[in-house]
Structure 1
Amino acid sequence: MNASTLMPAPRPREIEAEARPIDNGWLQWVAENKLRNCAMESMLQTMTAAGLSRAESEAAIVRMDSDPAYLAAKRYQQMQRKFESVLANQQKLWESSPHYGRVEKRSHVPRDEFIERYVRGSRPLVLTEAARDWPARTRWSPQDLKTRFGHLDVEIQAERNADANYEQNKLEHRRTVRLGSFVDQVLAGGATNDYYLTANNEVLRRPEFAPLLKDIGTLPEICDPAQLAQRSSFWFGPAGTRTPLHHDTLMLMHTQIVGRKRWRFISPLETPKLYNHFRVYSPIDLDAPDLVRHPDFASVKVLEVIVEPGETMFLPLGWWHQVTSLDVSLSFSYSNLAIPNDFTYVNAEIHNW
């Protein structure tokens, strides 16, 4: 190409004219990052890398300090930080107990003590003998499932490995399969998180699965047996299935019939450090926490316990938990506590933060 055919170099003013406009989406991004105390230079690097003018970006960041909506948000931020400090101080008191880091295992707890120490005291607990007389303990197995119910269709979650948010998107992972075929898949497939028959299957509401409920024996004193059929769930899957970090909106018992599960817990008072922007889920993976993206998590205390076959996990209200099956697993959970067990959470619905 001859020099005469080259276009003249654009003047600085023309370069600025070609930059992307700073629209409302970017102004919201500036406000959010200023509320997070991000450094101006870091924000400018992101904005210019996206094609925005550096001069206009810097001006927008400076103007944000006098924006009325931003100033209102700063006031609410002060109130939020006060609430967070209240939770942090209460958590500090909880952790001052020499026994805080251990999940207790007990064979039996009288009803009144259970309510005061574990329900109102909000402490996870493993009951080692709560299912001692259950026929399920000697009867249930993958082969028993196939023999008694293998001809029936059930709903499972499938293709979970292809979606990092498989639990949030669980409706998209619903698949109907023949239970006998699913038993074969679980036994042949080895350890995986790709498929799991979870509580969402609702099989215990179906009359043809009523024999499973007949295999449940005496319940803990804190429970109401009359509500068992309506407030119970059945779980079956391979080793390696994982329920990601989340909290439930009620209290429940979870009995391990076959196989072991690893439960890890985080106090509900630590919620501000768990980046809970969407419903009841945290984006943090306890197996591989990303402290660059989630630095506040570095100071969080995680409790851990292995629940063995025949043991029952009591999940107190609001405790965050991540659960991993260590073996092929059959489990039974129930929330029919004979005390108020209905609570309301006002959850955020932020998808892209």
Structure 2
Amino acid sequence: MKTPRDVQAGPSPLTPEWRRWLVENLLRGTLPRELVAALEKAGVGAEDARRAVEAEQTEPFVAGALRAVGMQRKLEGLLDVYSELFQQTEGPPRVERHEALTPAVFFERYYFENLPVVLRHGWSASLEQEAWTPARVAALLGERAAKYACCVPLFDEPRWEPLVRGLTSPRGYAAEEARACEPRLWWDPPAAEVPLRAARRNVLLAQVHGVRRLQLVPAFELRRVAASDEPGDAPLSLDVLLSPGELLLLPVGWWYGFTAPDGGVAVSFEAFALPEPNVTWDVDAEPQPSPLPPRD
């Protein structure tokens, strides 16, 4: 609990600095009785201290802020519960890998449970391998653009025609029509490093060339990701090594970052073999106002 530098003692009204102190600590979740005790210790009369705290609690702007902060605190507590449950599994938390995984199990155990998984699939064998080599992709990007990691839609520009010619999606997992899957080319030059970012949709990432070292942070670590600069409260992170021929499900709401020591090429798909469309987490959505109060 923070305290201000200056105190106006006795039964006199609180100074603006003291009022700010009261509001700040109410929003931090400090109990009213602790605030009354702090005021009394600073020299404010018992009755004035009690009335001052009650007045701030009932002030309309403070009451609205307390309600909003209270809901945020409940949501953060629920996410912390999910984090504890996730870490109670046998052995350290990890991303599961499968040499063979049926689509039914893929969706029930991982997609709908919002969990990542790595599986090996023969999809990459259907590509025209000569067109997808790092040298060929770099040439299509151009000398300047090829120096930087990028993720670009494959059906938006004619220059990607050599790559999309005959492009198919991983059967059983992604939607059958490649264009409908909104495929994207992931290009990584040697020594590429991409910091953590949020997966706004479920993404099926297929590694074609090179090795990708990923860092995955679960969606329920939202509070810790947002407070990553605070020491001692680092988010849970899972390491994944993705090799050519392997597919990774990046679940919506999870954070991912990666390095590609030797560079690499991958393709992602965002439409799945399900009747329901992919879900989207709009992290930049403007908050909607709460219901209007009744008019007098």
Aligned with residue 142 of structure 2, among 180, 188, 207? 180
- Report Cα offsets for 1:18-64 as digits up to 9, x if no partner: xxxx89xxx999956763469xxxxxxxxxxxxxxxxxxxxxx9896
Residue matched to 2:217: 266
In the alignment, what sits opposite 1:54? none
Structure 2 residue runs of 5 or longer lacking an equivalent are 1-15, 31-51, 287-296
CA distance in 2, matches of 1:130, 1:29: 62
**Pick from 150, 153, 161: which aligns with 1:197?**
150
Summarize the alignment of residues 272-351 of structure 1 with structure 2, pairs less than 5 Å apart: 272-275=223-226, 284=228, 290-292=229-231, 297-298=233-234, 300-339=235-274, 340-345=276-281, 347=283
In the alignment, is the contact (CA less than 8 A) between 2:186 and 2:265 conserved in 1? yes
Asked whether 1:83 is paired with 2:83, we answer no
The letter of the residue matching 1:196 is: A
2:102 to 103, 106, 110: 110
Q: CA deviation digits over 1:198-251, x for unaligned, max 9?
A: 23xx34322342220235456141211214365110122313333332222211
Question: 3-state SS of the aligned residue for 2:150?
Answer: coil
TM-score normalised by structure 1 residue count: 0.59
CA distance in 1, matches of 2:266, 2:100: 20
CA distance in 1, matches of 2:22, 2:162: 59
Q: How many Å separate the matches in 2 of 1:29 and 1:332? A: 53
For residue 274 of structure 1, give the secondary structure of its aligned residue in structure 2: helix
Distance 1:259 1:346 in 2: 31
Q: CA RMSD in A?
A: 3.4
Change (3 A) 1:230 1:307: closer
Aligned partners of 1:260 and 1:309 also within 8 Å = yes
Q: Name the CA shift for 1:105/1:65 in 2 (closer, same or farther; >3 Å).
A: same
- TM-score after normalising by structure 2: 0.70
User: Structure 1 residues 36, 142: closer, same or farther in 2, change over 3 A?
Assistant: same
Gaps of 5+ in 1: 1-21, 39-60, 150-178, 187-194, 276-282, 285-289
- 2:123 aligns to what? 131
1:239 is paired with a residue of what secondary structure? coil
Letter in 2 for 1:141: T
Q: Distance in 1 between matches of 2:217 and 2:277?
A: 20
1:83 to 1:142, Cα distance in 2 relative to 1, 3 A? closer
Aligned partner (choices 89, 97, 112) of residue 97 of structure 1: 89
Is contact 1:255-1:331 (8 Å) kept?
yes
SS in 1 for 2:155: helix
User: In structure 2, how many angstroms separate the alpha carbons of the residues matched to 1:314 and 1:267?
Assistant: 13
CA distance in 1, matches of 2:238, 2:128: 29
Cα 1:256–1:32 shift into 2, 3 Å: farther
- Can you list the C-alpha shifts for 1:137-182, whole angstroms capped at 9, x where unaligned? 56522322356x4xxxxxxxxxxxxxxxxxxxxxxxxxxxxx3323
User: Structure 1 252/95 Cα, relative in aligned 2: closer, same or farther at 3 Å?
Assistant: same
Question: Aligned to 1:145, what secondary structure does the other structure show?
Answer: helix
Question: Distance in 2 between the 1:95 and 1:101 partners?
Answer: 6
Q: Is the 8 A contact 2:202 2:279 kept in 1?
A: no
1:317 aligned counterpart, secondary structure: coil
Kindly tell me the number of residue pairs found equivalent between the two proteins: 247
Distance in 2 (alpha carbons) for counterparts of 1:203 and 1:318: 24
Over the matched positions of the two proteins, sequence identity in percent amounts to 24
2:188–2:263 Cα contact (<8 Å) kept? yes
